[in-house]
Amino acid sequence: MARKPARAPNDDIGEETRLKMYRTQVVIREAEQRAFDLFLQNLVKGTSHLSLGQEAVAAGFATAMNPGDLSFCTYRGHAHTLARGVSIEKVLGELMQRDNGLMRGKGGSMHLTSEEHGVMGSYAIIGAHLPIACGAAWRAQYKGQKDVSVCFFGDGTTNIGAFHEALNFAVIWKLPVVFVCENNLYMEYTPIEDVTAVQHPAADRAGAYGLEAVIVDGQDADEVYRAAQAAYAKARAGGGPSLIECKTYRYSGHSRADPAKYRKPGELDKWKERDPIKIYRERLLQFGIEQETIDKIDTEVRQVVDDATEKCKAAPQPPFELITRDVYADGGWAWRN
Amino acid sequence: MARKPARAPNDDIGEETRLKMYRTQVVIREAEQRAFDLFLQNLVKGTSHLSLGQEAVAAGFATAMNPGDLSFCTYRGHAHTLARGVSIEKVLGELMQRDNGLMRGKGGSMHLTSEEHGVMGSYAIIGAHLPIACGAAWRAQYKGQKDVSVCFFGDGTTNIGAFHEALNFAVIWKLPVVFVCENNLYMEYTPIEDVTAVQHPAADRAGAYGLEAVIVDGQDADEVYRAAQAAYAKARAGGGPSLIECKTYRYSGHSRADPAKYRKPGELDKWKERDPIKIYRERLLQFGIEQETIDKIDTEVRQVVDDATEKCKAAPQPPFELITRDVYADGGWAWRN
Amino acid sequence: MAELTYRDAVTRGIAQEMKRDPDVVFLGEDIAAAGGVFKTTVGLLEEFGPLRVRDTPISEQAILGAAMGAAMTGLKPIAEIMFSDFIAVCFNYLANEFSKHRYISNGQTKCPLVVRTANGGGARFGAQHSQSVENWCMMIPGLKVVAPSSPTDVVGLLAASVRDPDPVIFLEHKSLYPIKGEVPDGEIVDTIGTAKILRSGRDATITALALMVPRALEAAEKLKEEHGIDCEVIDVRSLVPLDTQTILGSVGRTHRLFTVEENPRLCGWGAEIVSIVADEAFYDLDGPPVRITTPHLPLPASDVLEDATIPSVDRIVDRVKRSLNA
Amino acid sequence: MAELTYRDAVTRGIAQEMKRDPDVVFLGEDIAAAGGVFKTTVGLLEEFGPLRVRDTPISEQAILGAAMGAAMTGLKPIAEIMFSDFIAVCFNYLANEFSKHRYISNGQTKCPLVVRTANGGGARFGAQHSQSVENWCMMIPGLKVVAPSSPTDVVGLLAASVRDPDPVIFLEHKSLYPIKGEVPDGEIVDTIGTAKILRSGRDATITALALMVPRALEAAEKLKEEHGIDCEVIDVRSLVPLDTQTILGSVGRTHRLFTVEENPRLCGWGAEIVSIVADEAFYDLDGPPVRITTPHLPLPASDVLEDATIPSVDRIVDRVKRSLNA
Ligand SMILES: Cc1ncc(C[n+]2csc(CCOP(=O)(O)OP(=O)(O)O)c2C)c(N)n1
Ligand SMILES: Cc1ncc(C[n+]2csc(CCOP(=O)(O)OP(=O)(O)O)c2C)c(N)n1
Ligand SMILES: [Mg+2]
Ligand SMILES: [Mg+2]
């Protein structure tokens, strides 16, 4: 069968990137779905915050990054961590608090960190990582390094003080940092509109920092990718920070404990019609990519998730000696002589 | 000599109110000037933050208040405290940390509080009192009481997290609170423009909370008074909060220790041309008030300040028994049995 | 008498006080429509309406600041901070504002409010959602600090906290929410500042708080059965005011002191108690006072690691036994 | 050797380290153009330029957050928090973020930063600008906490803090800024975690920190001259790591322990030291260990009241004398 043209006319993204973005979204979808299954089996410990439905945001921003760019995530950070190339096994292992986990079970699902992949941490105190991302960007600026710091957070985070301090700080110092608000309409269980003075929690605040209001369709990875590219380019060129609000929706509850009864009737179904992976499959076909290629990605990813699951189930618990390790830089915890 | 008409045509403020506002400004000017003299004599202890040059803001907002309205001030709160009718002796006594002080020397100059005058405290941690004022306003709303909570703070305060949280909170709950930013161009020693992403630190943030941007000439008590009246009326009518930015300038240093070398050349002189008391004297004359009446106020106030000074100098130190008093509501400090 | 969970006791305590006094209002994140992330406030919105039970944005400073301003002017707010770890983002209100304003104002103002929060470990939530922060609160002059260990104490101490004219930090232990206990019918009001001797004993005094109380009791049983060591167990219940009389009295009888603290070691509440006993009952002590604490490190998330970090029944048994046999 | 104020020693310490290492950067409110509200940073902007010495807005969370992000990725930031009381508005960074990230990440990340802040009373600034918050810092696992009492220690310990691979809270005492001392020429680098015996004595050990050190020394002189009591005075210098060997060694010789703490009593650092000594050196002690602290209350502004609140030379003398004569 003849191959359709890889690039449609006027397309700026291209096949290779699109396939990468597709695979990333499938990785997130499958890994998160597996995480959900595993905690139904009581194999995921503690809490867990899934990004099912929000995959396009993570995929778009990560795919547009260069190696060396830095991600700062929240407790809802599995997606962003996977999107930077961290292995599914390590992520699931951490959720299962096994020794093969990304932090060997010491951090848990809310704190995924992989320095070698540029995932500079997942922070579970709302808003705290926005100033931290500013600091990383300040380092880049000071050292003349060209990496961008990208900071992901939710709509609810726009109402905490640290958000405000970070935005002002980033602008006055013209830092190469990109703030990404994933507006999924809810904080934990409370609709964001009930507790926010403006309609667009991030975009309507941009002007308070002299920034442009940017709203992106968070269900369309291409749109996200383009917005990310523009913001990174601006940051790398010394143009300072951006604040981008992505409209999206989470399919699962806020965390493992949440049955999400607060949803408006029909809301979930309406959003599922614009499922990011569905949208992206159509996009790929539209740009001439074969169904087979797509199916192959799906199969491959599922296989990786299955393998990872087995490895995690077989992995040992972390050893007790980890408890007193790495409090301080000497590797130990001695607060006295 | 025939009395000139007390009200010029179309005037909305009237003689009585104007005389009150004038007297309030003179009280602040004279008392603050005296505080300055007293700390040159080493009779004012600790620190002190004067409002010389900013008198019109305090006078305008206080004069427009009803009894029962509540003021929440900062360390730079002498002006707002005096404007609510607290005696000069008590204020100077507190600055001198004497037993006749408003809090008998226990609080000091940064914490002037007079519940009976509606001065619900002066807060020395930047931004902390904005949420507190929201709480007082919430009580009024909940109890159906008609008082307004008025919260004064500086330009520098608009960059701290609590500012952001309070503004959003006040708007979503539609609280009867008025936020007054006295923009005197500097935080302590740093020009506000060097550290703020927008030109008008408060007004340019109003939109982030769905509020109208209001900028007022803080050197003109009438303008301030009108803005205050409008905001209070809106609050009392259930219309929710306002954020008002008053452009003003402080003549003295930030605090007693500060020679204010950071001023731009000529800046102080330029502002002194628009001295609020000078402007207001002219305004009174223009509305037909006699020079004599004005002079009499000046003389009276000076006398009160002189008398207060003598009383404070003669006042004893606070007794040691105060140290362990009023930590808890039982009047004591017992943390154990 | 009805059997109630610690979780439902929280709801009952709040409801009891809101029914009694219309000035009691309640605010926090996800507490109204959703009934709280720990389901401790289910039904309160329905019972008391949206003016008294209010959902807030994620603005902990606004929550505590608003509670303070309302308390200063005539309400009796209960504010929820979802996890006690988040006190760190609004610590200024505890450390500098509602704790100090009465003093600063020379007694003019008041701050009768309660901050309820889910404290402690055991849920495998990791370093930022599992801390025991009782010492963060105890060290601040002007606060009262309460931490119940049973459903009945939850109701009674919560009622006492709401009625208290001073700011009270009310630490609920998240691992105790599912435990059950018999709770008397009708209104329950306890007294803040009173410890309770839950088990009498002659050989040693063990002071404990919250989740550490059932563990200390179980350890005492084991010590008795397996080693013939007879421990008195005191549920401290209230760190401020601190019932030093009960503790000193007990040490005067047993001559040995152990503290079981979930907060990490340095400057924990046990240090304070040891320093009081060592000073005032030095000659009563027959051996060193010993602190059994979470080690001075952040909490690991993993279940096996977390369980090995927070004081366990076995650790208590072992430490007491070794110490008394030394 | 040159005579230097404690204030100028801060400047010298920062300058020494900024000269040595271009990755050392410095940020805070009014620290650059104005040279700091305590004039501890005069001339640094001129010497190191606006890229390394940066004025910030009043955004303490942004200051500490930015310091952390910079530290994690390769800089060695020094952040100033103007008054230590303001740690309360950015406490989350101390309590939950830079203290825990290395642990949370299983050793992947680092946070080599220094938070400098003006701590302590004596300036008649009242309850929100005079506190001693050493226990706020000491109680957080993952932090190091240093508090120098002399100009030489300021330079040496500040240098050590900047070079330390972990986050260090560096508490300067605002009432010590004007004191003078001889400071050696050339580079000075001290060691964190070491206490210093500043005066040998046989009858009792007094541990003190920062402003309490000169007071303890003066008290020791008086106790010797007026009452024949010979005290050993230890400048603790570093609360974390804590040099327990020096303290335990001293108590082993003197058999009595006093702590002189400026922090208010409950959960103060002295409680921690007492609890260590009472446990590990119980049989060395000839009498109760005694804590001399600021009482557990907010600080009054008035000079006479403030002086009567913070431990004074006379109070130390009196307490030690009464205790040893008991
Ligand atoms: C300071 C703080 N307050 C509250 C919480 C509890 N909490 C965790 S997630 C969350 C909701 C966050 O909403 P949003 O920012 O929209 O992110 P989302 O979870 O929707 O991705 C809340 C309130 C927290 N972790 N930290
Ligand atoms: C949280 C906090 N940070 C810093 C300070 C120190 N400080 C006191 S006043 C001030 C400047 C405030 O500027 P602005 O809000 O403009 O008020 P102004 O003094 O000009 O009236 C600063 C930084 C403080 N008191 N609290
Ligand atoms: Mg959300
Ligand atoms: Mg200002």
Place of tokens 């889910």: C118
Are B172 and C57 in contact by the 8 Å Cβ rule? The answer is yes
List chain B residues with pLDDT less than 50: 1-3
> What is the rounded CA–CA span in Å between residue A226 and residue A231?
9
Q: Is C255 known to be catalytic?
A: no
CATH number at residue A128: 3.40.50.970
- Does C151 share its domain with C204? no
Name residue C231's beta-bridge partners.
Answer: C204
Interface residue A161 vs chain B (CB under 8 A)? yes
- Does C207 share its domain with C252? yes
Residue at C251: amino acid letter: V
Spell out which chain D residues touch chain B, with contact meaning CB-CB distance below 8 angstroms: 29-30, 33-34, 37, 55-61, 85-86, 88-89, 123-129, 265-266, 295-298, 300-305, 308-309
Q: What is the pLDDT along chain C (326 residues), one digit of tens a residue?
A: 899 999 999 999 999 999 999 999 999 999 999 999 999 999 999 999 999 999 999 999 999 999 999 999 999 999 999 999 999 999 999 999 999 999 999 999 999 999 999 999 999 999 999 999 999 999 999 999 999 999 999 999 999 999 999 999 999 999 999 999 999 999 999 999 999 999 999 999 999 999 999 999 999 999 999 999 999 999 999 999 999 999 999 999 999 999 999 999 999 999 999 999 999 999 999 999 999 999 999 999 999 999 999 999 999 999 999 999 87
> What is the rounded CA–CA span in Å between residue B52 and residue B47?
16
Are B327 and D297 in contact by the 8 Å Cβ rule? The answer is yes
- Does C114 share its domain with C207? no
In a domain, D90, yes or no: yes
SS3 readout for C193-212: CCCEEEECCCCEEEEECCCH
pLDDT at A256: 84
Domain count, chain B: 1
Is the sign of the CA dihedral C248, C254, C260, C264 positive or negative?
A: positive
Contact D68 A137 (CB under 8 A): no
- Does D176 share its domain with D213? no
3-state secondary structure at position C235: strand
pLDDT at D266: 98
Per-window interface: B 195-234 vs A, CB < 8 A: 195-198, 204-205, 207-211
Place of tokens 């001693």: D132
pLDDT at D192: 98
Interface test mutation site (partner B, options A192, A198, A211, A212, max chain B beta carbons within 10 A): A198
In a domain, A331, yes or no: no
pLDDT at B1: 41
Query: pLDDT by residue (tens digit) across C261-292?
Result: 999 999 999 999 999 999 999 999 999 999 99
> What is the rounded CA–CA span in Å between residue C107 and residue D297?
13
Residue at C207: amino acid letter: T
The shortest CB-CB distance from A168 to any of B159, B162, B171 is to B159
Are D119 and D188 in contact by the 8 Å Cβ rule? The answer is no
Contact A194 C55 (CB under 8 A): yes
Task: Find the catalytic residue in C129, C227, C255, C296.
Answer: C129
Query: pLDDT by residue (tens digit) across D13-53?
Result: 999 999 999 999 999 999 999 999 999 999 999 999 999 99
> What is the rounded CA–CA span in Å between residue C39 and residue A293?
47
Q: Is the pLDDT of residue D315 over 70?
A: yes
In a domain, B193, yes or no: yes
Share of chain D above pLDDT 90, in %: 99
> Band of the pLDDT at A8, cuts 50, 70, 90?
low
CA distance C302 to chain A (A): 5
CA angle (D319 as vertex; D315, D322 as ends), nearest 5: 135
Are C114 and C248 in contact by the 8 Å Cβ rule? The answer is no
In a domain, D188, yes or no: no
pLDDT at B139: 98
Name residue D54's beta-bridge partners.
Answer: D27
What does the block give as tokens for A82? 């996977």
> Band of the pLDDT at A11, cuts 50, 70, 90?
confident
- Among C183, C211, C241, which residue terminates a domain? C183
> What is the rounded CA–CA span in Å between residue B84 and residue B96?
20
Interface test mutation site (partner C, options B146, B172, B335, max chain C beta carbons within 10 A): B335
Residue at A235: amino acid letter: A
pLDDT at A9: 54
What does the block give as tokens for B79? 């002006």
- Does C203 share its domain with C315? yes
Virtual torsion, Cα C274, C275, C276, C277, nearest 10 deg: 50
- The residue range of the domain holding D306 is 196-324
D50: exposed, middle or buried (Cβ count in 10 Å: 0-12, 13-18, 19+): exposed
Touching subunits of C (3+ CB pairs, under 8 Å) are A, B, D
Q: Which helix (H) or strand (E) holds C7?
A: helix C6-20
Are D204 and D229 in contact by the 8 Å Cβ rule? The answer is yes
The count of other CB atoms within 10 Å of the CB of residue A306 is 13
Report which of B73, B51, B90, B65 is spatially closest to residue B129, judged by C-alpha positions. B73
CA distance B327 to chain C (A): 5
Residues, chain B: 337
Contact B336 C243 (CB under 8 A): yes
The shortest CB-CB distance from C244 to any of B120, B125, B337 is to B337
In a domain, C266, yes or no: yes
- Beta-carbon neighbours within 5 Å of ion ligand 4: B 154-156, 184
> What is the rounded CA–CA span in Å between residue B224 and residue B62?
10
CATH number at residue C289: 3.40.50.920
Domain count, chain D: 2
> What is the rounded CA–CA span in Å between residue D32 and residue B224?
35
Which residues does a 6 A CB cutoff place in the pocket of ligand 1?
A 76, 124-126, 153-157, 182, 184, 186-188, 254; C 29, 58, 60, 82, 86, 89
- Does D117 share its domain with D260? no
In a domain, A224, yes or no: yes
Report which of C190, C260, C210, C211 is spatially closest to residue C232, judged by C-alpha positions. C260
Query: pLDDT by residue (tens digit) across D75-94?
Result: 999 999 999 999 999 999 99
> What is the rounded CA–CA span in Å between residue D250 and residue A184?
61
Please state the φ and ψ torsions of residue D293, each to the nearest 5 degrees.
Answer: -135, 165
What does the block give as tokens for B268? 């102080």
CA distance C296 to chain D (A): 5
3-state secondary structure at position B276: helix
The count of other CB atoms within 10 Å of the CB of residue A331 is 11
3-state secondary structure at position B28: helix
Please state the φ and ψ torsions of residue B213, each to the nearest 5 degrees.
Answer: -80, 120
3-state secondary structure at position D175: coil
In a domain, B332, yes or no: no
In a domain, C191, yes or no: no
Are B296 and B19 in contact by the 8 Å Cβ rule? The answer is no
B199: exposed, middle or buried (Cβ count in 10 Å: 0-12, 13-18, 19+): exposed
CA distance A100 to chain C (A): 12
Q: Where do the DSSP E strands lie in C89-174?
A: 114-119, 144-146, 168-173
What does the block give as tokens for A105? 């079970």
DSSP B35: H
Interface test mutation site (partner D, options C258, C275, C292, C293, max chain D beta carbons within 10 A): C275
SS3 readout for B272-309: HHCCHHHHHHHHHHHCCCCHHHHHHHHHHHHHHHHHHH
Give the atom of ligand 1 at the shortest distance from the alpha carbon of A127.
1
Contact B204 A207 (CB under 8 A): yes
What does the block give as tokens for B94? 């507190």
C178: exposed, middle or buried (Cβ count in 10 Å: 0-12, 13-18, 19+): exposed
The residue of chain D with its CA nearest to that of A68 is: D73
Which residues does a 6 A CB cutoff place in the pocket of ligand 2?
B 76, 124-126, 153-157, 182, 184, 186-188, 254; D 29, 58, 60, 82, 86, 89
- Does C237 share its domain with C291? yes
pTM (predicted TM-score): 0.98
CATH number at residue D87: 3.40.50.970
- The residue range of the domain holding A74 is 10-324
The count of other CB atoms within 10 Å of the CB of residue A265 is 7
The residue of chain B with its CA nearest to that of C107 is: B326
> What is the rounded CA–CA span in Å between residue D65 and residue D58?
13
The shortest CB-CB distance from B196 to any of A159, A163, A168 is to A168
Give the atom of ligand 2 at the shortest distance from the alpha carbon of B125.
26
Touching subunits of A (3+ CB pairs, under 8 Å) are B, C, D
Touching subunits of B (3+ CB pairs, under 8 Å) are A, C, D
Q: Which helix (H) or strand (E) holds D67?
A: helix D60-72
Q: Which of B52, B126, B163, B249 to mutate to test the pocket of ligand 2 (most atoms within 8 A of CB)?
A: B126
> What is the rounded CA–CA span in Å between residue A276 and residue A221?
7
- Exposure string for B68-93, b = 16+ CB within 10 A, e = fewer: ebbbbbbbbbbbbbbbbebbbbbbbb
Contact A208 B210 (CB under 8 A): no
In a domain, B289, yes or no: yes
How far, in Å, is the centroid of ligand 2 from the Cα of B124?
8
Please state the φ and ψ torsions of residue C21, each to the nearest 5 degrees.
Answer: -135, 115
> What is the rounded CA–CA span in Å between residue A334 and residue D319?
33
Q: Is the pLDDT of residue A10 over 70?
A: no
- Does C136 share its domain with C57? yes
Query: pLDDT by residue (tens digit) across C64-104?
Result: 999 999 999 999 999 999 999 999 999 999 999 999 999 99
What does the block give as tokens for D315? 């109070």
No. of H helices and E strands in chain B?
A: 11, 6
> What is the rounded CA–CA span in Å between residue A264 and residue A134?
36
- Among C183, C213, C231, which residue terminates a domain? C183
Strand C114-119 and strand C168-173: pairing?
parallel
Report which of C100, B129, C68 is spatially closest to residue D131, judged by C-alpha positions. C100
In a domain, C89, yes or no: yes
Q: Which of C30, C37, C55, C58 to mutate to test the pocket of ligand 1 (most atoms within 8 A of CB)?
A: C58
Are D240 and D161 in contact by the 8 Å Cβ rule? The answer is no
- Among C154, C183, C212, which residue terminates a domain? C183
B131 upstream amide cis, omega within 30 of 0: no
In a domain, B24, yes or no: yes
> What is the rounded CA–CA span in Å between residue C181 and residue C184?
10
Question: Could you give the residue ranges of the DSSP H alpha helices within A50-173?
Answer: 55-63, 78-83, 88-95, 129-143, 161-172
> What is the rounded CA–CA span in Å between residue C243 and residue A11?
74
Query: pLDDT by residue (tens digit) across D157-210?
Result: 999 999 999 999 999 999 999 999 999 999 999 999 999 999 999 999 999 999
- Does D104 share its domain with D169? yes
